[in-house]
Structure 1
């Protein structure tokens, strides 16, 4: 069931990304992929591996598929988040994505991708609050940096 869930997640995310109006440049996509992947791997190493608060699809220890999934699914969500992020009225958008992320995480638990060991849902709320706020700052920074010399 876990692989079906992950495959369906990839399919839906790719359809959304291919069909959505592109508001991000290729440089923004590339930088966002690296930043989101780095943060995801860092968080998973700290919280899952070092603190042992949850497992991600652990079948006979870490697999190469773990790294691929950990670096791509969050980045795909990050692309969608940044692509549709409004300049104004951000609070509603921010809250929507935090709630959506919690719901997606709980669906991931149901299908066996995530297994809480000591993790609490409110840790996720705090993490997603940080992640969504960070992504807004990240987006402002890369826009300012990329387009600084083009004006």
Structure 2
């Protein structure tokens, strides 16, 4: 039992912020009125973005050692929530409001939100930058919100149409 508690990394500095943000965003993504996204598309997006985020964590945090979350030797509850719920929930919320008429304003808003979340998680001490700068994240967030997520959405909408035929 003690090893389970130790592996949760509950004593990590600043743990409260990613846990709070992750749970709030996840609950909002589940409870928000669905406008442009269905439950099926929410489910697929949560899985795909969660998977891609863990792959990114493996590359950027483990192999390249650019950032550390909490205790760098273990994957605690904060890192689990940070990678499973923050990006996935933000993606679902973004896609729920995405239309051609508001795409670029949403890209800017969600890029800023993502940047502020990353910056604040580092400021409270949960994330430690080793060979990374927050400014490097801005073009990545911009690319994700402007091209990758809309492409993902078109693909899952297209496959839904083919299933219904």
Fold equivalence (TM over 0.5): yes
Give 5+ residue unaligned stretches, structure 1. Answer: none
Structure 2 residue 152 is the aligned partner of structure 1 residue 148: no
Distance 2:151 2:130 in 1: 32
Q: How many residues align?
A: 150
RMSD: 2.0
CA contact (8 A) 2:69 2:126 kept: yes
Give 5+ residue unaligned stretches, structure 2. Answer: 1-12
Q: What residue number does 2:21 align with?
A: 9
Instruction: Compute the TM-score of the two structures, normalised by the length of structure 1.
Output: 0.87
Q: What residue number does 2:134 align with?
A: 121
1:115 alignment partner, SS class: strand
Q: Which of 106, 113, 119 is 1:100 aligned to? A: 113
Structure 2 residue 76 is the aligned partner of structure 1 residue 76: no
How many angstroms does 1:18 deviate by? 4.3
Instruction: Compute the TM-score of the two structures, normalised by the length of structure 2.
Output: 0.80
Distance 2:101 2:133 in 1: 32
Structure 2 residue 28 is the aligned partner of structure 1 residue 36: no
